[in-house]
Amino acid sequence: MNLMSYLTALSREKTKAKIIMALYSTLSDLSTRIRNGQQSRKLEILVKKTTKTTNILNVLKKEGFIRGYTINEKNISIFLKYFTDKPVITTIEPVSTYNTNKYTSVKNLIQLKELTKKSNQGLGLFILSTSKGILSDYESIEENIGGQIILRVL
């Protein structure tokens, strides 16, 4: 193996690592921007445009946690929602990180929802990455599909 092929293989490995880190940093970036925007009472925030971000925002809009969003060339403008001058989203955090993936079955998801109902008066949402795309916990139970829990929203 010559030096050139070694360097090419090394750069491919770094690229794979960057792609994996970029996937999870997108989730962290999205949750951090929403959390900070809500805490500073912003009406609109910008995030980087990715298909995963768009799918997560579809779920958040369907469940009533954001007012909506618009997609630009490189960014997505998210319109945050407030109720009686308080943020609708009090907590949003990634559950799975790039080195710890949290997978769950439908049975475990139902049990997790029961525990969440007791502690948060039924308010709260888990967003899952499933074989049928990114779904809320309710849709996942309805479709009878388990998956990777990626975000927790309260």
pLDDT tens readout for residues 23-80: 457 888 999 999 999 999 999 999 999 999 999 999 999 999 999 999 999 999 999 9
Look at the block and give the residue holding tokens 């293989």: 9
**3-class DSSP assignment, residue 69:** strand
Average pLDDT over the chain, rounded to an integer:
84
Q: One-letter amino acid identity for 88? A: V
CA distance 150 to 6: 35
Instruction: Kindly tell me the sign of the dihedral angle through the C-alpha atoms of 110, 115, 118, 121.
Output: negative
CA 139 to chain centre: 15
65-97 pLDDT, tens digit each: 999 999 999 999 999 999 998 999 989 998 877
Q: How many domains would you assign to the chain?
A: 1
Q: What does the angle CA 28 – CA 69 – CA 148 come to, to the nearest 5 degrees?
A: 40
Residue type, 46: L
pTM for this predicted structure:
0.82
The answer to which of 13-17, 28-32, 104-108 has the lowest mean pLDDT is 13-17
CATH number at residue 136: 3.30.1490.10
Domain residues for the domain of 119 are 3-153
